[in-house]
């Protein structure tokens, strides 16, 4: 999207949207984007192409989970040039989430705080929507983010992840197991290594044995089952991160999403009393620290999706050089507009050339240990 489109968003659309409460603006945005007709995005420069988890991505720039919880606007994300979109968090049954108000803007920090609590239409609605995409050509990859229902008792949480896998894995290029949302009571306790095993085992056992539904993406070279990733919190301490990494290696998990939103405030330079997860630029440095630690602890052998605080190409590039193989954002688009994916891609091409890299994969982890 040309720079003038960013200016239009900043001058006209964002002031109008910011007059509405954040959740109303969110719903209106998704409703509008869901009406976008199918459109082929412009071809990406070859140096942005990358293969991760055995899957080819036209570019490494993705939409983070939380913006399109129920897979309403997949055609729009494809048209906007994303390399992949992480949809969800999807729960087995519909649920309303936490009581409002539950989302707040922090314009001085270009940040958001949310305590949504996985509101959504449930897996059957998402499955129906994805099934209708069977004849739609997508240049991007579809990543599905799974979480349990709020009222699921602890002893049955693994069953929720299994049910989601049985119903939706056939549509997914990649599955993300969300164990780190701060807005579902008790969920972060599942990041303990022995509990990660229970969830991953449930997901693997529930993988369909029949042929997958192949969405007509840019290449049919998917692995036989969708890779399984675990999404972790930025609030884990160093020893906890190392424990999660060791568990991920022992369990042969395919990758890690680093990181979710944070409960930290003063530690990231924010003064706010709203409860919930903080996202946006204040999270950038901490997210990058966790990415770098995961990369070092796994010796660069476990792919990482880096998320947290990305608002421009330099932010995305920094996450890649720290060890992320792919990057994604959500809050940045709220403040910068729908052209941010294209802007980041243009910037990545420039930054790769500046540093003498011929491809994204050459840049990944290049700053490790510095």
Q: Is 135 helix (H, G, I), strand (E, B) or coil?
A: coil
Asked if residue 178 lies in contact with residue 88, where contact means CB atoms within 8 angstroms, the answer is yes
> What residues are paired with 145 via a beta bridge?
176
Rounded CA-CA distance 68/83 in Å is 15
Render 202-237 in DSSP notation, one character per residue.
HHHHHS-SSPP-----S-----SS--EEEEE-TT--
Catalytic residue among 34, 43, 96, 181: 181
Asked if residue 111 lies in contact with residue 137, where contact means CB atoms within 8 angstroms, the answer is no
Rounded CA-CA distance 3/161 in Å is 42
Asked if residue 272 lies in contact with residue 107, where contact means CB atoms within 8 angstroms, the answer is no
**Smallest Cα–Cα separation from 146: which of 76, 229, 207?**
229
How far is C-alpha 299 from the geometric centre of its chain's CA atoms? 23
What count of Cα atoms within 13 Å lies in the side-chain half-sphere of residue 219?
12
Asked if residue 352 lies in contact with residue 47, where contact means CB atoms within 8 angstroms, the answer is yes
Asked if residue 53 lies in contact with residue 224, where contact means CB atoms within 8 angstroms, the answer is no
Rounded CA-CA distance 62/53 in Å is 15
Token pair in block for residue 204: 């693997």
181 part of the active site: yes
Token pair in block for residue 94: 């519909």
Token pair in block for residue 273: 């009393």
Please give the positions annotated as active site.
Answer: 181
């Amino acid at each position: 999207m040309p720079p003038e489109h960013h200016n239009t968003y900043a001058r006209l659309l964002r002031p109008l949207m910011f007059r509405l409460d954040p959740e109303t603006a969110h719903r209106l945005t998704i409703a509008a984007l869901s009406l976008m007709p199918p459109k082929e995005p412009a071809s990406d420069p070859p140096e942005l192409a990358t293969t991760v988890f055995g899957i080819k991505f036209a570019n490494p720039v993705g939409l983070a989970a939380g913006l399109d919880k129920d897979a309403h606007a997949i055609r729009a994300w494809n048209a906007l040039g994303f390399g992949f979109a992480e949809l969800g968090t999807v729960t087995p049954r519909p649920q309303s989430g936490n009581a409002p108000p539950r989302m707040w803007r922090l314009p001085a920090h270009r940040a958001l705080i949310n305590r949504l609590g996985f509101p959504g239409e449930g897996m059957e609605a998402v499955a129906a929507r994805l099934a209708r995409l069977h004849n739609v050509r997508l240049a991007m990859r579809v990543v599905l983010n799974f979480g349990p229902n709020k009222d699921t008792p602890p002893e049955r949480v693994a069953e929720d992840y299994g049910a989601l896998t049985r119903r939706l894995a056939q549509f997914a290029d990649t599955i993300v197991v969300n164990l780190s949302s701060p807005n579902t009571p008790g969920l972060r306790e599942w990041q303990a290594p022995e509990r990660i095993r229970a969830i991953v085992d449930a997901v693997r056992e529930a993988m369909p044995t029949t042929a997958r539904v192949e969405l007509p993406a840019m290449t049919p070279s998917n692995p036989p089952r969708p890779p399984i990733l675990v999404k972790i919190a930025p609030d884990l301490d160093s020893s906890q991160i190392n424990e999660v990494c060791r568990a991920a290696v022992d369990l042969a998990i395919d990758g890690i999403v680093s990181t979710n939103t944070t409960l930290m405030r003063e530690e990231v330079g924010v003064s706010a009393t709203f409860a919930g997860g903080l996202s946006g630029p204040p999270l950038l440095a901490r997210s990058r620290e966790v990415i770098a630690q995961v990369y070092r602890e796994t010796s660069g052998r476990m792919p990482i999706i880096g998320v947290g605080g990305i608002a421009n190409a330099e932010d995305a590039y920094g996450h890649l050089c720290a060890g992320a193989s792919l990057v994604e954002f959500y809050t940045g688009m709220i403040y910068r507009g729908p052209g941010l994916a294209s802007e980041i891609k243009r910037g990545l091409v420039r930054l790769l050339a500046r540093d003498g890299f011929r491809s994204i994969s050459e840049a990944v982890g290049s700053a490790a240990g510095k």
